[in-house]
Amino acid sequence: MKSPLIRPAFILSTLFLAGAVLLTAVFLSTPPTTSQAQATLTFSNQDNMPIDGLVRILCFDSPTAAAPFADYDAKVVNGQPNPPPPARCTHLAALHLRHEQPANKHDGLA
C-alpha cells in the first residue's frame, strides 16, 4: 500500500513541471519586439546633435552577414529616419554626406 503523502507530492510536482513547460513555450513563441529599439534610433553628428538630410542605410540581419538584405535612402528629420529600418534589421551601417568638395577647374563636384 502506498503512502498517502506520495500521491499529493507527485501531483504537485507534475503540476509544477507542466507549468514550467507551458511558461517556456509562451516565452519561446513570443517574438521579441523591435519597436522600442526602432523608436530610440536617432542619427546624430560628432557633437551628439540630431542630423537632418538624406542617409543611406544598409541593413544586416547578423553581425557576420556578408551582404546587406536592404539598401535604401531614408530622409532624416531631427535624427529620425523615414522610413525606419525594417524589423529584421538588427545591425546597420549608415552613410551621411557631410561635405561636397567643389571642382577646381570644372563646374560641379570633384
Three-state secondary-structure class, residue 109:
strand
Mean pLDDT (whole number) for 42-63: 91
Query: Is residue 14 located within the same domain as residue 47?
Result: no
Q: Is the pTM of this model over 0.75?
A: no
Confidence of residue 99 (pLDDT cuts 50, 70, 90): confident
Report which of residues 110 and 52 the model is more confident about.
52
Give the pLDDT of residue 97: 81
> How many domains does the chain contain in total?
2
Tell me, yes or no, whether 45 lies in a domain: yes
What are the Cα distances from residue 101, in Å, to 31, 44, 108, 109?
46, 22, 9, 6
pLDDT at 80 over 80: yes
Query: Is residue 19 located within the same domain as residue 44?
Result: no
Residues 11-28: tens digit of each pLDDT? 666 655 555 544 454 444
Domain span holding position 19: 1-32
Closest of 96, 78, 86 to residue 37, by C-alpha: 86
